[in-house]
Amino acid sequence: MAYRVAVYNAISASGLGRFAAPHYAVGKALADADAILLRSHALQLSEIPATVKAIARAGAGVNNIPVDEMSKRGVPVFNAPGANANAVKELVIAAVLLAARNVVPAIGYVQSLAASPDFEKRVEDGKKQFAGVELPGRTLGIIGLGAIGGLVAETAIRLGMKVTGYDPEITVDNAWRLPGSVKRAASIEDVLKSSDFVTIHVPLNNHTRHMIGRERLAVAKKGMALLNFSRDAVVDEEAVLASIADKRLRAYICDFPSPKLQGHAGVVTLPHLGASTEEAEENCAVMVVDQLKAFLEEGS
């Protein structure tokens, strides 16, 4: 059956290869597309031709797609929950280690020493200034215990950390996936009060926008490091900067570049690298292309 898929972002060839050749075209201007396949492109309603019967995102979050309007039109939106969870987990664990050992500011410090005459003394100073902590016995708080949060919990426990988690949506059906030693907190505040590191793994929606703001950060454990590998707007950036200035938050590591956060001590921003591994890109592409194909070719 002939159909046309407009592909808006670079999608792994392992996924695209599952379409027979004439079935997709790369680019936005496909006035008669039957489906849209994308990754990070923020899809506007005006870009969606009336011929579109399905939209697929090669990733977990769907906040860059007008999902409500699509469900009114009866257009399904496919995604790839869990397909990139290991990739995100690995970067989150790396970020916990970076925060624990002050690696990013230490690198900046050493780079600034290049032309310094008292090099050796300043290296010694740096050794003291950037001394860190080890993970066993430290508490990692996880807000959102889905596929990524669950994997992060498992690895953190293997590294000897205590894990406390909060997720109002967890059900008896998916709770079994969580390691038994994850302490279930009653609220986000409880997680923030008791954790040395907190990582957020929730989708962006009306309930989670600016979920971490001034009031909640005010109760955070002093010296906490906050990690955000979910969506930038889940955290109020002004509140984060104020909390770092007050020395309550020690560090904010997030997977989003932000002009507001640029150049602030204690803040590390990444170009949304969490799911950017060969393996995750392939897993996501294969998962959503298979869903699209089944829908377009078999109507299921």
What residues make contact with ligand MLT under the rule CB under 6 A? 39-40, 59-61, 84, 272, 275
Q: Please say which residue, 201 or 216, places its beta carbon nearer to ligand MLT.
A: 201
CA 294 to chain centre: 28
Q: Considering the complex, what minimum distance in angstroms separates the CB of residue 211 from ligand MLT? A: 17
Q: Considering the complex, what minimum distance in angstroms separates the CB of residue 65 from ligand MLT? A: 11
DSSP 3-state percent helix, strand, coil across the chain (nearest 5): 40, 15, 45
CB atoms within 10 A of CB 174: 14
Q: Please say which residue, 61 or 76, places its beta carbon nearer to ligand MLT.
A: 61
Q: Considering the complex, what minimum distance in angstroms separates the CB of residue 79 from ligand MLT? A: 8
Evaluate whether 202 touches 147 at the Cβ level (below 8 Å).
no
Q: Could you say which DSSP state residue 6 is in?
A: E
Q: Considering the complex, what minimum distance in angstroms separates the CB of residue 254 from ligand MLT? A: 13
Sheet holding 54-57, edge to edge: 24-26, 5-7, 35-38, 54-57, 77-78
Q: Give the whole-angstrom CA distance, residue 158 versus residue 147.
A: 17
Q: Considering the complex, what minimum distance in angstroms separates the CB of residue 60 from ligand MLT? A: 3
Q: Please say which residue, 59 or 141, places its beta carbon nearer to ligand MLT.
A: 59
Q: Please say which residue, 94 or 107, places its beta carbon nearer to ligand MLT.
A: 94
> Sign (positive/negative) of CA torsion 37, 282, 149, 234?
negative
* Residues 211/93/138/191 CA torsion (nearest 10 deg): 20
Instruction: Name the residue whose CB lies closest to ligand MLT.
Output: 59
Evaluate whether 235 touches 211 at the Cβ level (below 8 Å).
yes
Q: Please say which residue, 85 or 220, places its beta carbon nearer to ligand MLT.
A: 85
Q: Could you say which DSSP state residue 143 is in?
A: E
CA 280-286-289 angle, 5° bins:
135
Q: Please say which residue, 60 or 225, places its beta carbon nearer to ligand MLT.
A: 60
Q: Considering the complex, what minimum distance in angstroms separates the CB of residue 97 from ligand MLT? A: 21
Q: Please say which residue, 185 or 285, places its beta carbon nearer to ligand MLT.
A: 285
Q: Give the whole-angstrom CA distance, residue 273 versus residue 266.
A: 19
Q: Considering the complex, what minimum distance in angstroms separates the CB of residue 217 from ligand MLT? A: 24
Q: Give the whole-angstrom CA distance, residue 227 versus residue 269.
A: 10
